[in-house]
Amino acid sequence: LDYTARPGSTVSGHELANQISQELRLGQEVEPSQATSAQVYKASAAVVRRQMVEAWQRGQSQMVQGHTRAVGYLSAEYLLGKQLPNALLNTGLEAPFQQAMQELGFEPDDIFAAEREPGLGNGGLGRLAACYIDSLSSEGVPAFGYGIRYQYGIFEQAFDQEGRQRELADTWLEEGEPWGFENFGRARRVSFGGSVVAEGDRRTWQPDWAVKAVPVDYMVPGYASGRVNTLRLWEAKAYQEFDLATFNQSDYIGAVVPKVKAETISKVLYPEDSTPQGKELRLEQQYFFVAASLADAIATFYPGEREPDLTTLPSKICFQLNDTHPVIGIPELMRLLMDEHGYGWDEAWSITTRVFNYTCHTLLPEALEEWPAQLIAHLLPRHWEIIQEIDRRFVADLQARQVSDEQIDRMRIVTKADQPKVRMAYLATVGGSYVNGVAELHSQLLKDVTLKDFSALFPEKFTNVTNGVTPRRFVRLANPRLSALISEGLGSDAWLSDLEQLKGLEALADDPSFVDKFIEVKRANKADFVAFAQRKYGFEIDPDTMFDSMIKRLHEYKRQSLKILAVIAQYAAVKSGQVDPRSLVPRTVIFGAKAAPGYAMAKETIQLINNVARVVNNDPQVAGALSVRFPWNYNIELAEHLIPATELDEQISQAGKEASGTGNMKFALNGSLTVGTLDGANVEIRSRVGADNFFLFGMQVEDVDRLYSEGYDPRAYYEADPRLKAAIDMVASGSFSEGERSTYRNLVEDWLSKDYFMTLADFSAYMDIQSEIDEAYRDQRGWARKAIINVANSGFFSSDRAVKDYLERIWHTGPQE
Ligand code: 26Q
């Protein structure tokens, strides 16, 4: 294999074994035969990293010297998952590593198990960023991922005796971490607070405190592309170990306070993923990483230049804003251009609006970030001035276009109120070139609802890029059996970098021997999951049941409560003698979900699921027919084990609420069938795999709108469907709380009086589709056929395709020339 095609791939297994041995002896002072898995992991990481260095540096200098516009992906989150298996696959070192481990007498899986996954994200948005940097490297595009190196990532979830969620610190750095390279030479100063002073016609910011942003660099190797990009995650450090003035006043402890304050900035990831926490520290985090990243990009492309010609910046790089979290970058770039480099407003604005683009990931109005002006003014006084000026000019522009006062007030970046707020989505829309949603339906709703006024006036700004996932991690690494079968069926593994090739499997859906092999793959994956769940959670799962999974953050709009109510209804029907358990298709219903620590309703739902599991799993009357499992601490590792083993995937959000979903894509690519509403990317999955191979149910966006406007009364649905009534009554009467009727009071009250996301209205349709699913499942070969057709038609959902869409429609760039 060509070295440039796959960095590292010329290394033999024996050579790799020698390098790892050497690293163990010299780097860790341990004899290979005595080394622990953790030591071998660390040594392997160091060796693999070294294999990538040359390609990394080559790519870096080609980027700076070349003429291909680079991409700067700005994201507060990267939910990476384990690095070692991915680095081995992408660099072509998988087989040599296997050999090396054999030679050294270690099991690769034990070595992989020693890695703590970097959980530097909450869910979909963070995982999307991780998929996109993988695809950017795989497509050969010069790119940076910029973000924050949180010392504590997403909390580790535990369940207490009562089934309630407990949050534990994610101590992923406790024993060090071999991938990140602290690049002290590229550290930057990031300032806060203070005031703005006028010097002649120039206004300058005189901040009153600052922190040092130290980049920790991670290599991002492309799959078989020879390109290794950089993920640069910033860590906050204090400039002074001790405040000497305070120290000299003999307040020894007080003297470290500023240091602690500075280092708090990159301490912990905020675990809320849909109700923004308007906390000062969060704004500090946002500005911290964005300011460091913009300065870093300029320093990268204009090295050593004291007065760089920044009018060329848009030809060097463009920045993608992953939701509104990095939007403070817009006024920051204006400030850099005007205050530090002397450009006038118009020139600065022209540069700024050409380098930024914004991706929106939500439809929930309460999830749109709005910062109190007062907070911005206090923390970033110069940015506040610039934001006001952007707003002033924008309003003037609207007035010149004869926009009504009423509409102007709706569109203001800074709201008109006693306590004005800055609407970050509006600032992003005005301050950049393109705005995109993350699935067709979502982008349409953005134009029709959320950003309607903007799309009416600036239609050319709006576009769609449907999300995608990396087939390397989520098919090849997570599901080696299916990958081997696909390669056998297609005659090569070229599908891994050209996922539309999966289409070639469609013909094999009617080949009985291929169908048999597909069934065997799923069976073996289920057996693996059973063993994993036994080992890790102590669960006893019957592999001869349908694996029915719902894994995603816990949120009311996603409607985990619809799923659990359906389980309860089924259970109630057996208990009341209406249903013979032997007539059911045996199921194992599996949940994985973290709730934001302050989200009471979500936490109550977790408790309910755990207690339904406790009751159902211990009831001999349903044994063999129904069980419920809730493995705690859902993360990338669990996803990689569960998705390949799943047969039925639940995507049951209220229509018009899930921007895209990406789990749905991972499941379809791994041969699960989806039960879902017409929401997010479900719409596109269904239209690609065909209506016969997708279990659609429930209200559509128009039905939801109509029902809201007619006045929604959930109690009517409770009275109308005896199955629903039985299920809710069971919860209310204490069946899942040892007779205590108050445990789920909030949930029950909400269902019967509010039910904002219309779980009750969709319940009957959901129960009915589940009966159809049972019927379909009884025909195992028919089911497998549908699953194969799902795989064959899901190639579109590769993050490579998504990145190519961004390249063509938004970034206007491509592979390094
Ligand atoms: C904002 C301010 C303060 C604190 C936290 C936040 C915050 C953090 C994370 C707000 C939102 C998020 C995450 C959102 C998210 O994951 N959205 C999901 O993005 C996916 C990728 O596009 C979509 O597939 C999902 O539909 C969408 O819910």
Residues 393 and 324 in one domain: yes
Residues 209 and 319 in one domain: yes
Residues 137 and 237 in one domain: yes
With cut-offs at 50, 70 and 90, classify the pLDDT of residue 8.
Answer: low
Residues 637 and 540 in one domain: yes
Question: 125 C-alpha vs ligand 1 centroid, how far in Å?
Answer: 5
Q: Is the pLDDT of residue 26 over 60?
A: yes
In contact, 360 and 268? CB cutoff 8 Å:
no
In contact, 323 and 363? CB cutoff 8 Å:
no
Query: In CATH, what number is assigned to the domain containing residue 136?
Result: 3.40.50.2000
Q: Is the pLDDT of residue 113 over 80?
A: yes
Instruction: Label residues 677-701 b or e (16+ Cβ within 10 Å = b).
Output: bbbbbbbbbbebbeeebbbbbbbbb
For ligand 1, say whether the CB of 273 is within 6 Å of any of its atoms: yes
Q: Is the pLDDT of residue 246 over 80?
A: no
For ligand 1, say whether the CB of 662 is within 6 Å of any of its atoms: yes
Q: What is the pTM of this model?
A: 0.97
In contact, 655 and 676? CB cutoff 8 Å:
no
As a whole number, the mean pLDDT across the chain is 96
- Give the tokens for residue 206: 């005189």
Q: What is the pLDDT of residue 728?
A: 98
Residues 138 and 106 in one domain: no
Q: Which of 300, 324, 470, 662 is catalytic?
A: 662
Q: Specify the DSSP class assigned to residue 620.
A: G
Whether 552 sits among the annotated catalytic residues: the reply is: yes
Q: Quick one: angle between helices 560-575 and 600-617, nearest 10? A: 30
Q: What is the pLDDT of residue 725?
A: 98
Whether 575 sits among the annotated catalytic residues: the reply is: no
Q: Specify the DSSP class assigned to residue 32.
A: G
Q: How far apart are CA 155 and CA 735, in angstroms?
A: 30
Compute the C-alpha angle 314/320/326, nearest 5°.
110
Whether 526 sits among the annotated catalytic residues: the reply is: no
Q: Residues 147-172: pLDDT tens digits? A: 999 999 999 999 999 999 999 999 99
Q: Is the pLDDT of residue 72 over 90?
A: yes
For ligand 1, say whether the CB of 284 is within 6 Å of any of its atoms: no
Specify if 646 maps to a domain.
yes
Q: Residues 726-759: pLDDT tens digits? A: 999 999 999 999 999 999 999 999 999 999 999 9
Residues 719 and 770 in one domain: yes
Interval 619-641 mean pLDDT: 98
User: Which range has the worst mean pLDDT, 251-265, 390-404, 547-561, 764-778?
Assistant: 251-265
Q: Residues 348-402: pLDDT tens digits? A: 999 999 999 999 999 998 889 999 999 999 999 999 999 999 999 999 999 999 9
- ipTM value, please give it: 0.99
Q: Specify the DSSP class assigned to residue 23.
A: I
Q: Which of 558, 686, 785, 786 is catalytic?
A: 558
Q: Is the pLDDT of residue 649 over 90?
A: yes
Segments forming the whole domain that contains residue 568: 491-797
Q: Is the pLDDT of residue 724 over 70?
A: yes
- Give the tokens for residue 680: 């997010």
Instruction: Label residues 573-592 b or e (16+ Cβ within 10 Å = b).
Output: bbbeeebebeebbbbbbbbb
Interval 200-204 mean pLDDT: 86
Please enumerate in sequence order all residues whose Cβ is within 8 A of that of 650, keeping only pairs 6 or more positions apart, or say none: 548, 549, 550, 563, 674, 675, 676
Specify if 478 maps to a domain.
no
For ligand 1, say whether the CB of 555 is within 6 Å of any of its atoms: no
With cut-offs at 50, 70 and 90, classify the pLDDT of residue 250.
Answer: confident
Residues 519 and 426 in one domain: no
% of the chain exceeding 70 in pLDDT: 99
Q: Is the pLDDT of residue 3 over 50?
A: no
Residues 241 and 386 in one domain: yes
Q: Residues 460-517: pLDDT tens digits? A: 999 999 999 999 999 999 999 999 999 999 999 999 999 999 999 999 999 999 999 9
For ligand 1, say whether the CB of 438 is within 6 Å of any of its atoms: yes
- Give the tokens for residue 231: 């993920």
Specify if 88 maps to a domain.
no
Question: 706 C-alpha vs ligand 1 centroid, how far in Å?
Answer: 27
- Give the tokens for residue 107: 């099991």
Specify if 34 maps to a domain.
yes
Q: Residues 545-586: pLDDT tens digits? A: 999 999 999 999 999 999 999 999 999 999 999 999 999 999
Residues 453 and 599 in one domain: no
The terminus-to-terminus CA distance of the chain in angstroms comes to: 22
Specify if 477 maps to a domain.
no
Name the residue with the closest Cα to ligand 1, atom 13.
273
Q: How far apart are CA 146 and CA 587, in angstroms?
A: 43
Q: Which atom of ligand 1 is nearest to the CA of 282?
A: 3
Q: Is the pLDDT of residue 275 over 90?
A: no
Specify if 594 maps to a domain.
yes
Question: 230 C-alpha vs ligand 1 centroid, how far in Å?
Answer: 23
Residues 661 and 580 in one domain: yes
Residue type, 135: S
Q: How far apart are CA 234 and CA 800, in angstroms?
A: 26
Q: How far apart are CA 262 and CA 247, in angstroms?
A: 17
Q: How far apart are CA 381 and CA 192, in angstroms?
A: 9
Top mutation candidate among 73, 77, 125 for ligand 1, by most atoms within 8 Å of CB: 125
Q: Residues 314-324: pLDDT tens digits? A: 999 999 999 99
Q: Which of 149, 237, 325, 361 is catalytic?
A: 361
Q: What is the pLDDT of residue 5?
A: 45
Residues 358 and 238 in one domain: yes
Q: Is the pLDDT of residue 4 over 60?
A: no
Q: How many domains does the chain have?
A: 3
Specify if 486 maps to a domain.
no
Residue type, 419: Q
With cut-offs at 50, 70 and 90, classify the pLDDT of residue 256.
Answer: confident
Q: Residues 679-708: pLDDT tens digits? A: 999 999 999 999 999 999 999 999 999 999
Whether 553 sits among the annotated catalytic residues: the reply is: yes
Q: Residues 40-61: pLDDT tens digits? A: 999 999 999 999 999 999 999 9
Residues 404 and 501 in one domain: no
Specify if 71 maps to a domain.
yes
Q: Residues 632-647: pLDDT tens digits? A: 999 999 999 999 999 9
Question: 285 C-alpha vs ligand 1 centroid, how far in Å?
Answer: 16
Q: What is the pLDDT of residue 7?
A: 55
